[in-house]
Amino acid sequence: MRLENMPVEFQQALPLINTLEEAGYEAYFVGGSVRDVLLKRRIHDVDIATSAYPEEVKAIFEKTVDIGIEHGTVLVLAEDSQYEITTFRTEDVYVDYRRPSGVTFVRCLEEDLLRRDFTINAFALAEDGQIIDKFDGLTDLENKLIRAVGVADERFNEDALRIMRALRFSASLDFDIEEKTFEAMKVHAPLLEKISIERSFIELDKLLTSDYWRKGLRNFIDSKAYNHLTGLVGKEAQLENVLKNIKSDYFWFTTSEQAWAYLLINLEVENCKDFLKKWNVSNEFTKKVTNIYEAYKIALERVWEVKDLYKYGFDAFMYAEGLLEAEERDIDTSLLPQLTMKLPIKSKSELNINGQVLMNHFNRKGGIWIGQIISEVEELVVNGQLENNQDAILEYVEKELKEE
């Protein structure tokens, strides 16, 4: 098969391919970018593989950076762009179910493609547009099928993260997983326990935020992969609820935080912070997930109030509202705009008072009293019991101090 129209991303990188070939080496576009071109999807990263060894690549191009030279990768700086060029290689024995103990540089493209995970990721694209397909990946693309390259058991035993990648691809591409490949995934799923949780988080996160997340989650459940990820062991029924409770077939999670908040809601997690800490996510991510989670939970118990909006933020309630609507719960969609209009301040920084003003006005030294007073004032202003006016606030504080 020949690609008649090279996308602009490949056209811009063609001079590097030509330079390598003029120097006597083979060079091709490889990986997910080739797959995405064939599927008419947007290209993310353009990767180049070559028969030139790393030192030979560095000798050819003027500006290079060693970003992974021990694995054969050299970053080439070309005008306003940069490209990773990786030497054809084979991989030694995998010692941790994730990384090879070493790599061997080779001159043969087929040997390099043989080490890749799935047939739809094992294409090479020549500078003339010719698609090199050694493992019948074009047929799998046509049939919308994810199939391991070579022996599936070997691929997943080498790198267990490929299990999560297969699940993620099923969600992002709307592809089925070939039967033998899926069976091998189930057999080797326990190896996920040896993979860093950060890596598994990235793949599960991409799955949940994909267009076909329902298919991905269905495969995630059926593969039993969840039984080998922290906090999800034995949670099949709760994961099924994620699929069951969203009534609309046309609902997509807007953000990662919204997706994980809904996951935690259905998992019946009592403490979001403790759960997410095990996944090594950022404090900011944890806070946003928790805020959505709390906003959702409040709606099940009572009507949202101004103080809730102030505490958890507009975005949290907007995403919680989206979840409630997707569940077809009876909610007042006009409530959030009304609360927003009633909100006198959005943060403590908007108070017309601060510690320095209090110390100067009352001629008192700093101390714990300042924080206590400002917190009291903040609550009163948010609840509409005190005007956010400096004179009014100082008058209130003066009364409070006299009663001490």
118 and 36 inside one domain: yes
204 and 239 inside one domain: no
- What are the pLDDT digits (tens) for 127-152? 999 999 999 999 999 999 999 999 99
Task: Judge whether residue 350 has pLDDT over 60.
Answer: yes
20 and 131 inside one domain: yes
Structure confidence at residue 25 (pLDDT): 97
195 and 270 inside one domain: no
151 and 58 inside one domain: no
Q: How many domains does the chain have?
A: 4
26 and 62 inside one domain: yes
Please give the annotated binding residues, written as ranges.
32, 35, 45, 47, 116, 159, 162, 165, 168
Question: For the chain, what percent of residues have pLDDT higher than 90?
Answer: 70
Pairing of strands 89-91, 81-87: unpaired
What are the backbone angles phi and psi of residue 273, rounded to the nearest 5°?
Answer: -60, -45
> Which of the four pLDDT bands, split at 50, 70 and 90, describes residue 99?
low
204: CATH:
1.10.110.30
33 and 54 inside one domain: yes
As a whole number, mean pLDDT of residues 245-263 equals 95
- Give the list of residues 6+ apart from residue 307 with CB closer than 8 angstroms, or none: 379, 382, 383
- What are the pLDDT digits (tens) for 360-399? 888 788 888 888 888 888 888 888 888 888 888 888 888 8
Please give the annotated binding residues for ATP, written as ranges.
32, 35, 116, 159, 162, 165, 168
Distance from C-alpha of 327 to C-alpha of 107, rounded to nearest angstrom: 56
What are the backbone angles phi and psi of residue 138, rounded to the nearest 5°?
Answer: -65, -40
Structure confidence at residue 396 (pLDDT): 84
Task: Judge whether residue 333 has pLDDT over 80.
Answer: no
Q: Look at residues 143, 174, 202 and tell me which one is the last residue of a structural domain.
A: 143
13 and 119 inside one domain: yes
354 and 378 inside one domain: yes
Structure confidence at residue 381 (pLDDT): 83
Structure confidence at residue 365 (pLDDT): 84
The encoded tokens of residue 364 equal: 């008192």
- Give the list of residues 6+ apart from residue 184 with CB closer than 8 angstroms, or none: 148, 152, 153, 155, 156
87 and 160 inside one domain: no
Please give the annotated binding residues for CTP, written as ranges.
32, 35, 116, 159, 162, 165, 168
Structure confidence at residue 229 (pLDDT): 98
Structure confidence at residue 100 (pLDDT): 65
Range from 51-55, 64-68, 199-203 carrying the lowest mean pLDDT: 64-68
Please give the annotated binding residues for Mg(2+), written as ranges.
45, 47
Distance from C-alpha of 87 to C-alpha of 105, rounded to nearest angstrom: 6
37: CATH:
3.30.460.10
Position with higher pLDDT, 304 vs 265: 265
Q: How far is CA 54 from CA 13, 33, 242, in A?
A: 18, 22, 47
306: CATH:
1.20.58
330 and 356 inside one domain: no
Model pTM score: 0.88
193 and 209 inside one domain: yes
Task: Judge whether residue 283 has pLDDT over 70.
Answer: yes
Domain that holds residue 244: 230-343
385: CATH:
1.10.246.80
